[in-house]
Structure 1
Amino acid sequence: MQLEDVLRVFQRSWLLIAGLTILGLLAAGAALAVTTPQYQSTSRLFVSTQARDSASDLLQGSTYTQSRMISYSHLVVQPVVLDPVISSLGLALTSDQLAGHVTANVITDSLILEVTVSEASPQQAADIANAVAAQLVSTITTQIEDPGDGTKPLIAVSIIANASPAANPTTPVSWLYLVVGGVGGLLLAIGLAFLISGFDNRVRSVDDVKRLTDLPILGHFPRQAKVRDRPLLFADDMMSQRAESFRALRTNLQYFDLAVNHQVLLFTSSIPGEGKTTTSLNLAIALAQTGKKVLYIECDLRRPKSAKYLNVEGAVGLSDVLVSRAELADVLQPGALPSLAILPAGALPPNPSELLGSEQFETLVTAMRHEYDYLILDAPPLLAVTDAAILSRVSDGVIVVVGTAQVKKQQLETSFEILSQVDARVLGIAANFLPRRGVDAYSYYTYGYGSVMPDRAGAEAEAALHLGAQPGQVAHEQPHSRSHRRLPALVELDTIAEATPTAEPAGDDVWKRVRTPSRR
């Protein structure tokens, strides 16, 4: 995993990371509030050897004292020392309970013993420390080290520092609690973020797409909050970042492979909701703006949406033409530009795959090649039905729309496999819903399109009006003079159909009269 991948994980999970870090700090604050402060007081004792006549006796006594220091430290918490302290101070504790508040420590390379007591009351901590030190001196000199013959004991113990009440509590340490709580919450959040990232198999960025395929990214389209309410490009937003993205897709397709004429372009996706219809419609608009004659064919005979987006009549259309219930010239609808024509899906048939794979549809596409510069086919998603795979036979190239944060990596891989199995010529990817900010954002979108100068925007809107577009309508660059409703009827379709449109039954039998082309 590279640094960029780590930054992506942080950027995607920043709310989780910030939330758990704050939660850790709050937990630390709660722990501080409920924790009783503890005060420590320490008294110190010095252990020495009684004076002897010779140097050898002094050396022997010093060695003996050093060996006894650890034993004296353990003696501090024994009942023989603590029981008298409890009695003298009137503590409501047992010797075992009091032992949990008392510690003894021997200072390294010295004969000094420290007795430390922790209590909620600073005065009580000092009183107990002093009482334990005094009782330890008495116990050592009168019981442990008493020779029993009336002579002085070899060991002498004296108090060199009495305990005093502490001014500040020893525990809890506020900053330490906060550091532990904050760092603990942060580490937990980072761990969860990487765990979630490991289980997240959705395509999130252009880099995710590039890891799955070597196909070129022909178009990059940023995520916009109002795209569902306003899916198409209009005259008043032709200088927008999104409009420039479709012009870039138009240019990429026009110069993709100059040796091949990509006249019939098929748009599809892996699953619904990736934006294939809006992408194909806006590309048709972008191509028509250059004066090219464009026919948009709604090939999604299951869930058509183009008629709704374009605000045109969609009750009759492609399906009716394929079964000879209507003439092509009668169902073609003019687009927002003179050089753009729309062929809606029409009535929803019970056998969409058979219609799209029929000889009638292939003949229709072949005839339209002579009438239009571009044919844009909007096909259903690949994983839902086989329609897109069937339509790839009559297209010059397939563009797969990938909706980031919508499609899963396995779904996209399966879509590529389906297209590969039918030998479809996939031109590339149209990456949709790309984030506008953060490490997943495509760098192109941050250059020059954050805002448009008012005078330039006004000039563009005025130019669009001179070209015939009203505010809220699609702008065009070169008007086309030919009318779509004057197209001649397709005689070939009349000869293929087994019955005339007036003789067709009203039921589902009309859809069964379409022949499927034989395999070549």
Structure 2
Amino acid sequence: MATSRDATRVLSMAWRNGGLVLLSLLAGIAGALVVTEKTPPRYEATATVLVTGGAVSGEQLYVSNATQNLMPTIARLAESGKVAEATAETMGLPTRQVVRHIRADTQEGVQILALTADAPTADKAAAIANATAQVLLPRVGWIRHDGTGSVSAELLDRATAPSRPVSPRPLLNGLLGALLGSLVGVGLTRLRALTDDKVRGVDDLREATGAPVLGSIPYDANVPRNPLIVHSPQGAWSEAFVRLRTHLECVEMNSPPRLIAITSPVANEGKSNIACNLAIAMARGGRSVLLVEADLRRPRSGQFLGLGDAEGLTTVLSGHARLEEVVQQFGEGGPMILPAGPLPPHPSELLASGRCKELLSRLREYYDVVLLDLPPLLPYADVGVLAGLADGTLLVARCPKTRARHLHQSLEALTALNARFLGCVLNAAPSQSNGYGYRTDLTVSAAGLLPPPATLSGRRTGSQVGSR
């Protein structure tokens, strides 16, 4: 199972970074084509020279061996500046076009010298090779070996103009460019993997936290316009909240959490949307639910639910209103909502007060489930106060925004507060999978669990406060 999951993750990473590798590959090929186009062509032509040695009778074997020993010396003579200058003078060319453009090659045991010349044109390469051979022939005759005789040379094969250049080589350059581009792409992919710690799926979230992922909410482009599951009760997005509700109920069958804090590492990760829809899903499941908008800096739950926030949590904690006067209900049979109310200048002090602890204790007795929509965990200290009082905390991460290091810091903060950590919820997950090993089109439909409400607008009521 683990091997299969690892292989799937590797393929997923390769697919995500395939564009980068492909771009690097194409860049390498394009660079090779540019280099090929800008590189002046070079042609090579080869003339061969046979080297022999004269000897007295009976000494042919000795002379042959001595001549072979002289072949490296003759090769260096052919490549020398003196021979190149003489060749250039013979052809009426600038010396620089011949010097270092002659190569002499020999083979062990063979008395044949290969003279190769390179030039910008095929005809010039052949002409230089042949002229060098003619200049070299008489100079070879000056060499003697141990006084037994002289060495002679004769032109064996004249150089002919080659049909194609030896440089540049478009195919070879293209292959090298593709290889280099691919290596660069793989390197950039690896560097990106080391520096980019964004959560891009359920596996990333599970690995970053080491905790269970209780819910995976798929990305839905309609959420900004219709942020509530009641607008699409039969969609995969709505079904994901029903699964989240079910998983929360199964965290501890004997003692399920009743006061649940919902937060995220940083802002704009969708925690308020998760809190609102989870409250609706729980209420549609037959439980009495209260959603407390405890984010006293940027409250969003009331905005999603279309409820007024002239009075709410802050007015209750400050003693200017009673709880039953400010609690509102969302829809027919929907969850109860305690809006944030007027934003206080010092939220931390208000939430850390004894009045707040007393209120949470009362709410725990009034409702089956109380959901606390908290501010982001890392920027604000007041989150820890309520998270420590809750039965458990849900941590929301958004794909591909949340970073693994922020998740680590969040878990460390919850641990320091002795807060119970229930698990994670992945928001805006890739829609092709719900993150639990099966596709959303194979899950149980939520239609029966989320019937359309009679009304979508909230109304003020206190009738359910204190009732079960």
The equivalent of 1:46 in structure 2 is 50
Which shifted more, 211-220 or 239-248? 211-220
Secondary structure of 2:377's match?
A: coil
TM-score by length of 2: 0.89
Cα drift, residue 36 of structure 1: 1.2
Cα drift, residue 167 of structure 1: 0.8
Secondary structure of 2:68's match?
A: helix
Gap change, CA 1:212 and 1:81, over 3 Å in 2: closer
**Alpha-carbon distance in structure 1 between the residues aligned to 2:332 and 2:114:** 95
Given the alignment, which residue of 82, 88, 91 partners 1:89?
91
Q: CA offsets, 1:5-60, max 9 Å, x none?
A: 65455344333222222111111010011111111111111112336422xx1112
The equivalent of 1:178 in structure 2 is 174
8 Å Cα contact 1:392/1:398 also seen in 2: yes
The equivalent of 1:496 in structure 2 is none
Given the alignment, which residue of 12, 16, 22 partners 2:20?
16
**Alpha-carbon distance in structure 2 between the residues aligned to 1:385 and 1:358:** 16
Letter in 1 for 2:137: V
Cα drift, residue 185 of structure 1: 1.4
Secondary structure of 1:156's match?
A: strand
Q: CA offsets, 1:422-452, max 9 Å, x none?
A: 2222222112233346xxx665476143999
**Alpha-carbon distance in structure 1 between the residues aligned to 2:31 and 2:99:** 31
Secondary structure of 2:95's match?
A: coil
- Considering only aligned residues, what root-mean-square deviation do their CA atoms show, in Å? 3.1
Given the alignment, which residue of 318, 322, 327 partners 1:327?
322
The equivalent of 1:158 in structure 2 is 154
Gap change, CA 1:442 and 1:239, over 3 Å in 2: closer
Secondary structure of 2:341's match?
A: coil
**Alpha-carbon distance in structure 2 between the residues aligned to 1:64 and 1:146:** 7
Secondary structure of 1:178's match?
A: helix
8 Å Cα contact 2:326/2:460 also seen in 1: no
Q: How many residues align?
A: 461
Secondary structure of 1:383's match?
A: coil
The equivalent of 1:495 in structure 2 is none
Secondary structure of 1:234's match?
A: helix
The equivalent of 1:515 in structure 2 is none
Cα drift, residue 192 of structure 1: 2.2
The equivalent of 2:243 in structure 1 is 248
The equivalent of 2:66 in structure 1 is 64
Q: CA offsets, 1:339-393, max 9 Å, x none?
A: 3222110100122223223333333333334443221111112212222221134
Gap change, CA 1:413 and 1:146, over 3 Å in 2: closer
The equivalent of 2:398 in structure 1 is 403
**Alpha-carbon distance in structure 1 between the residues aligned to 2:273 and 2:349:** 25
Large movers: runs of 4+ above 4 Å: 1-9, 145-148, 467-470
Which shifted more, 245-254 or 333-342? 333-342
Gap change, CA 1:484 and 1:288, over 3 Å in 2: farther
1:314 equivalent in alignment to 2:306:
no
Secondary structure of 1:99's match?
A: coil
Which shifted more, 80-89 or 343-352? 80-89
8 Å Cα contact 1:314/1:344 also seen in 2: yes
State the identity %: 31
Q: CA offsets, 1:122-147, max 9 Å, x none?
A: 11111111111111112212x33499
Gap change, CA 1:78 and 1:425, over 3 Å in 2: closer
**Alpha-carbon distance in structure 1 between the residues aligned to 2:287 and 2:464:** 19
- Which segments of 5 or more consecutive residues in structure 2 lack a partner in the other structure? none
Which shifted more, 193-202 or 373-382? 193-202
Which shifted more, 267-276 or 210-219? 210-219
Task: Spell out the pairing of 1:305-384 with structure 2 (5 A cutoff).
Answer: 305-384=300-379
Which shifted more, 23-32 or 191-200? 191-200
Letter in 1 for 2:123: Q
Which shifted more, 206-215 or 393-402? 206-215
8 Å Cα contact 2:209/2:407 also seen in 1: no
